[in-house]
A and B are shown apart, each in its own frame.
Chain A
Amino acid sequence: MNVPEGLFYTKEHEWVKIDGNQAKMGISDHAQHELGDITFVELPAQQTQCEQFKQIATIESVKAASDIYAPLSGKVTAVNNKVVENPELVNQSPYEQGWLLAIELTEESQIENLMDADAYKNYLKESL
């Protein structure tokens, strides 16, 4: 499974790329692989306030519906409407074209609650 360096990860298999106070997020390669063909994505409206580890979006695959959790608290500043029209982008390119939304983060210290690439790789190994 592809686990790019420089990103942070959650136990629920979201990734987040932090640039100043902007955080872009999506689901990991492992998550898209586990879900299988993604058929539907529901994203929040811009300006929605989100809380770390609380539900912020929904993804459905052929088999099931899954909640997606915010990796950090803040305000939604951008959503990727391309994945709403073409949910398969999340399968094809989970870290690039398949990103879900961007958050303006409010509490930088929350980053400590996330895993870096090495920690996430170990987490995946342990959960096998």
Chain B
Amino acid sequence: MKTKKTPLFEQHNKLGAKCAPFGGWLMPIQYEGIISEHQWTRNNCSVFDICHMGEFLIKADALPSKLDKILTQNLVNMPLKTCRYGFMLNDNAGIIDDVIIYRIEQDKWMLVVNAATSSADFEHLEKNLAKDNVKIEDISNTLAKLDLQGPLSRDVLVEIAGEGILKLDYYTFDYFKVLGENIIISRTGYTGELGFELYISNDKVIALWNLLLKNKTVKPAGLGARDTLRLEVCYPLYGQDINSTTTPLEAGLAGFVDMNKDFSGKKALGKKQEQGLVKKLCCFETDSRRAPRHDYEIFSNNRKVGVVTSGSYSPSLGCGIGMGYIETQFSDIGTEIILQHENVKINAKVVKRPFYKKGSLRI
């Protein structure tokens, strides 16, 4: 498959970005440097090119519809112009994808999905919704997405989209007139900071990108910083921390599953809940600057008890941090573990999530 480029690719080149493939797209990993972009986002405001992610528009007539049955969140009681984070599960309660659901109108929804899973997600939805008088449209090829994240992001957006921005509560959205277009702006993100996601047509995204960067408090940040920012607040990354063989229960994400409604995978999930969890997604800190890495093995008392799914040096904490699945009996907070890979051995300790607790997310 040919690697795709977002409409902003030339802008990234002009800014001297290092680019690399991610989820089938050639994406900017860093501009100035991951650590400085990370710190800038925590203290000021950064803009991220997130055009690779997929967006589906769904017109579902009546509720509870089959759409509601595909997602773990309750769509019936969802207020207009709010967002919810949830999952599509397979029959074994494994996660097909984690998605953000937008309720645009009473019977109109937008689903924001991961780039790498986008086409499989679409097939899954079509297969399950086709007979239910539901229209589903993949608008990813015409809709661009920018994330504006950081404690100063609201001030920046007020200048561009007006004072209406001040009314957006966490996980709500509205339409705003920007560059002559009515665009969706939601108060959502993937950094643990106050932040917004902006959905604008491909034709206007270069102008919006440059307009945002005109503000001296805004700098571009790449997927490298996005990864360290999300890891510090323990947001899972699909394909690493969660996938089609892991369930929301094991991942500690049961709060995004409504067991009071019906959904695909519910039966299997209920059964796993009854049986008790064999493994759990845990957070751990190392005793040095050395970082855990994906696929490092986790040991306790010379026995392999788990595997690392994400890891990095934490710019905010100054030590290595990671997440991984550990057998339940070794998953208590404070448990000492050893991370191993070839001749590397790192001492680490299971800690409470999140690693970084001072985010501006809800200010």
A residues contacting B by CB (< 8 A) are: 36-37, 39-40, 42, 58, 60, 62-65, 87
Contacts and interface: CB of A to CB of B under 8 A. Distances in A.
Contacts of B29: 63
A87 B289 contact: yes
Contact of B293 (A36, A39, A65): A65
B344 A62 contact: no
B289 A63 contact: no
A40 B293 contact: no
Interface of B: 18, 29-30, 33-36, 224, 228, 288-291, 293, 312-313, 315, 320, 344
Interface centre among A39, A42, A87 (most CB of B within 10 A): A39
A63 B38 CA distance: 13
Shortest 5 CB-CB distances between A and B: which pairs? A39-B313, A40-B289, A62-B34, A37-B35, A40-B290
Contact of A39 (B30, B36, B291, B344): B291
B312 A40 contact: no
A38 to B, nearest CB: 9
A39 B293 CA distance: 14
A65 B344 contact: yes
Contact of B33 (A37, A60, A65, A87): A37
A62 B293 contact: no
Nearest to B341: A65
A87 B319 CA distance: 13
A37 B290 contact: no
Contact of B288 (A36, A37, A40, A63): A40
A60 B291 contact: yes
A87 B320 CA distance: 14
A40 B291 contact: yes
Given A62-B228, A62-B313, A63-B224, A36 B289 contact: no
A40 B33 contact: no
A60 B30 contact: no
A73 B17 CA distance: 38
Given A60-B313, A62-B224, A62-B312, 15 more contacts: A36-B30, A37-B36, A39-B291, A40-B288, A40-B290, A60-B291, A62-B34, A62-B228, A62-B291, A62-B313, A63-B29, A63-B312, A64-B293, A65-B344, A87-B289
A73 B315 CA distance: 36
Nearest to A87: B289
A40 B293 CA distance: 13
